[in-house]
Amino acid sequence: MWLLREGRDALLLAFCQGLFWIGMLVSITLTGLIGQKIASDPALATLPVALLMVANIFSTRPISLLMQRYGRRVGFSIGALAGAAGGVICVIGIFRADFVIFCLGNVVLGVHQAAAQYYRLAAVDKVEPERRGRAVSLVLSGAILAALVAPPLAVWTKDMFAPILFAGSFLALSALSVAILIPVALLSPHSAVSVTTQGGGRPMGEILRQPVMIAALVNAAAGHAVMVLVMNATPLAMVACNHTVGDAASVIRAHVLGMFVPSFFTGKLIDRLGAPTIAAAGAMILAASASVSAWDQGLVHFEIGLVLLGIGWNFMYIAGTTLLTQSYRPEERGRVQGLSEMTIAACAAAASFGSAGLLNIFGWQGVNIGAAPVLAASLGVTLWFATGQRRVVRVA
């Protein structure tokens, strides 16, 4: 019944998610390689991605408040237009071999990413609490389309303007961003428009002190940061290990399938076992991913490690998002979601900044070992929250 009532808008949001991730994966696969080629220092190869994350940080809260006031469709449309503009600026930077312009294009793409982060949250606006995990999962599953389309698209378009490599790929990213405007326009008004109540609610300090809020932020941010840390370094590491760009694209495709295929059942697992259990499982899967990746640099190890990286991210990210929806009242939604997305983006930006540096200084093993303290901290917070929940249940 839920899918019949809410399925149209959830499916439209899933389609938006798919289009966004096709372009995003083209960017993830190629940006580090482009940066390495045109930057003055190879250590700056992932700087464009890091700047994208920084722009994301500064855009998430304004976009959330904009959606709170004017509705989801306005925010999503602005994000799509930013994606189109950012892609064109990147194309100019590639043609001119200008690293600064290329970085600027990625800054504009950060606004697009900031808006796209709210696709999964828009899905729960009109959904009962017990269905929120499934709603988030359904929207995230739209990115499975990206896993199938993005790698061959990146390889096919990279030679479109040969001998200038990769410009065609970012032109395709721009076109995909424009296409997002179509499903956004078809969203029904009642699902697209946010709660009209402005202001009010509890002080932010009180909201942040809730154990559920702490667990939500730590799991979503830690899972996303570890994923970004390893994923951004993967194409660079693979090319350095004498694998081809096509091999890197295939591994990224396997990684994205690992990220989003579990969405078909993660929501149901959360509804049945609870978000803390799934978050803890996600942290342990990410630890297994780091172990496999650090063990050897063969193609199979890259593939298995990155698939596990995707599954672990899926568990932690959806579990964290589900917990987040339990932490705020309707009138607090814009503020809390904006702060949450800004925190996640800040952690991802820090991971992006550190990715190329860790790879250049400590190698591929160092990148994966660097994830261990983050995973240990997140697992500790999850166990602390789960223990507190059990005590409350026993007292009740």
Residue 152: the pLDDT is: 81
End-to-end CA distance of the chain: 32
Residue 217: the pLDDT is: 96
In whole angstroms, give the CA distance from residue 314 to residue 111. Answer: 23
Contact 141, 14 (CB under 8 A): yes
Residue 148: the pLDDT is: 82
In whole angstroms, give the CA distance from residue 219 to residue 375. Answer: 9
Give me the CATH number covering residue 67.
Answer: 1.20.1250.20
Residue 2: the pLDDT is: 43
325 three-state secondary structure: coil
Contact 271, 71 (CB under 8 A): no
The DSSP secondary structure of 46-96, one letter per residue, reads THHHHHHHHHHHHHHHHHHHHHHHH-HHHHHHHHHHHHHHHHHHHHHHHHT
Domain with 134, as residue range(s), is 2-395
Q: Which amino acid is at 349?
A: A
In whole angstroms, give the CA distance from residue 233 to residue 117. Answer: 22
In whole angstroms, give the CA distance from residue 50 to residue 346. Answer: 10
Strand partners, 164: 161
Residue 338: the pLDDT is: 84
Residue 197: the pLDDT is: 46
Number of domains in the chain: 1
Residue 49: the pLDDT is: 83
How far is residue 45 from each of residues 85, 86, 95, 158, 175, measured CA to CA in Å? 22, 18, 17, 18, 25
User: Closest by alpha carbon to 383, among 267, 276, 255?
Assistant: 276
Residue 352: the pLDDT is: 79
DSSP at 306 = H
Residue 300: the pLDDT is: 93
Residue 130: the pLDDT is: 66
DSSP at 358 = H
Residue 394: the pLDDT is: 54
In whole angstroms, give the CA distance from residue 260 to residue 252. Answer: 12
pTM recorded for the entire structure = 0.76
User: Closest by alpha carbon to 19, among 115, 131, 161?
Assistant: 115
For each of the chain's 396 residues, which pLDDT tens digit applies?
444 445 678 889 999 999 998 998 888 778 888 998 899 887 788 789 888 988 988 998 899 889 888 889 999 999 999 999 999 999 999 999 999 999 999 999 999 999 998 998 888 776 666 676 777 778 888 888 877 888 788 878 988 998 898 999 999 999 999 999 999 999 877 544 444 444 568 899 999 999 999 999 999 999 999 999 999 889 889 988 989 878 888 898 889 889 888 988 888 899 889 999 999 999 999 999 999 998 988 999 999 999 999 999 999 999 999 999 899 888 888 789 888 988 988 898 888 778 877 888 889 999 999 899 999 999 999 999 999 887 655 544
Contact 14, 142 (CB under 8 A): yes
Exposure b/e, 114-151, CB count within 10 A at least 16 = b? bbbbbbbbbbbbebeeebbbbbbbbbbbbbbbbbebbb
Strand partners, 161: 164
Residue 7: the pLDDT is: 62
In whole angstroms, give the CA distance from residue 140 to residue 233. Answer: 23
Residue 196: the pLDDT is: 43
